[in-house]
Amino acid sequence: MTIIFWLCIAAIFYAYFGYPFILYGLSRFRCRPVHRDEQHLPQLTLIITVHNEEDRIQDKIENTLTLDYPRDMLEVIFASDASTDRTESIVRSYPRFKLVRSQERKGKEFAQKRAVDQARGDILVFSDVATRLDSNALRTMAANFADPSVGCVSSEDRFVDSQGLVSGEGAYVQYEMFLRRLESRVCSVVGLSGSFFAARREVCGNWAVDLQSDFNTLLNAVKMGYRGVSDPQTLGYYRNIADEKKEFSRKVRTVLRGLSVLMRNLSILNVFRYGLFSWELFSHKLCRWLVPFFLLLALGSNLFLIPKSPFYVLTFFLQAVLYAAALAYGQVWLHKGSSSKAGLLPSLVRGMKIPYYFCTVNAAIFMAWMKYVRGERAIFWEPSKR
């Protein structure tokens, strides 16, 4: 039990702290800068996937119209996954945009593939309705493709809540963006922001309609000898999901889709063939997705070790405090009225929010594993209401 406990603690520490620390150390000695060219303006196709977005499509259209990119070098395609509301008619009212639609609902990736097949651009850019882009976003993203080693580019996420504050999951997003910058510097990112990313046309040739497009596109790029990079100059802004239950379901669905991609591409973990990228993929994705099991084993083994030493009483107590803080935040802060919230100290609430998101993320990962083992797959999608 002692060995199990410490192995689990070490694995958890490695997944969240050890890997970034080693990556940071490597970045001091190994640097693969992106040779950007701000004047590089390839033919772009912007693909925006939609499903029943009549309430938000106008905002996305207006945001798209503000994008600063030569008009003759930019094609915009809205890919509808068999929308049944006014979404398609709204898009059709803008002659500048092209609409492709699925005759029946077959999932986000199927709709994207229809757009990919009709796209004329050398670089394909993917976005969704909920993400707002800066006016220069396409230019900054395109500049990365002047480097022939770059096969795909991810934006950086900016999470903004109703008060404009960045905390809790916002801090978690910042942590992920920090990791992506280090990975870009050392070798390649292991994940793209599904809400805003781009890839060379040839990378999108082997498009799978049943696999998460952003993750699968990155792995396809690496298999073709390219790398993926995260561009801190290219930002995608999105708001929090108002319904916490729907946000949890989104997390489960995202991890489940990621597991499906990884299990279909296990050969890419071969370090003798893919080198540092295999280590990055193992550390950032697989180790992180195993953390829920390490947490359960650490708690269970710690319970058996309590009689052995007062030290293990302390470690069990610390774990109990973590879960109690997460539960308290979820039950008191999220599910009570605003009058109850006003009575809580803001600093105390902020302190409880980090454990809450840590626990909910790992609970979502655990649920995703259970669904994957049962043979469930997430192909259909519901655009998150933010």
pLDDT band at 342 (very low <50, low <70, confident <90, very high): very low
pLDDT at res. 157: 84
Of 169-178, 218-227, 232-241, give the lowest mean pLDDT range.
Answer: 169-178
**377 pLDDT exceeds 90?**
no
Give pLDDT tens digits for 167-192: 445 677 788 889 999 999 999 999 99
pLDDT at res. 135: 93
Give pLDDT tens digits for 130-158: 898 999 999 999 999 999 999 999 999 88
pLDDT at res. 241: 62
pLDDT band at 341 (very low <50, low <70, confident <90, very high): very low
Which DSSP symbol is given to 131?
Answer: -
Region 307-328: mean pLDDT is: 91
| Helices of type H across 198-286 | 213-223, 244-264, 271-274, 276-281
% of the chain exceeding 70 in pLDDT: 88
Q: Is 284 helix (H, G, I), strand (E, B) or coil?
A: helix
**334 pLDDT exceeds 60?**
no
Instruction: Using only the alpha carbons of the chain, give its radius of gyration.
Output: 22
pLDDT band at 337 (very low <50, low <70, confident <90, very high): very low
**44 pLDDT exceeds 70?**
yes
pLDDT at res. 67: 95
Are 107 and 379 contacting, i.e. CB atoms less than 8 angstroms apart? yes
pLDDT band at 3 (very low <50, low <70, confident <90, very high): very high
pLDDT band at 306 (very low <50, low <70, confident <90, very high): very high
Q: CB within 8 A of 221, min separation 6: which ones?
A: 151, 152, 199, 200, 203, 227, 228
pLDDT band at 105 (very low <50, low <70, confident <90, very high): confident
- pTM assigned to the model: 0.87
Region 97-121: mean pLDDT is: 92
Residue 156 has phi, psi (to 5 degrees) of -100, 140
Region 31-35: mean pLDDT is: 90
pLDDT at res. 47: 97
CA distance 111 to 158: 26
% of the chain exceeding 90 in pLDDT: 68
Region 233-253: mean pLDDT is: 79
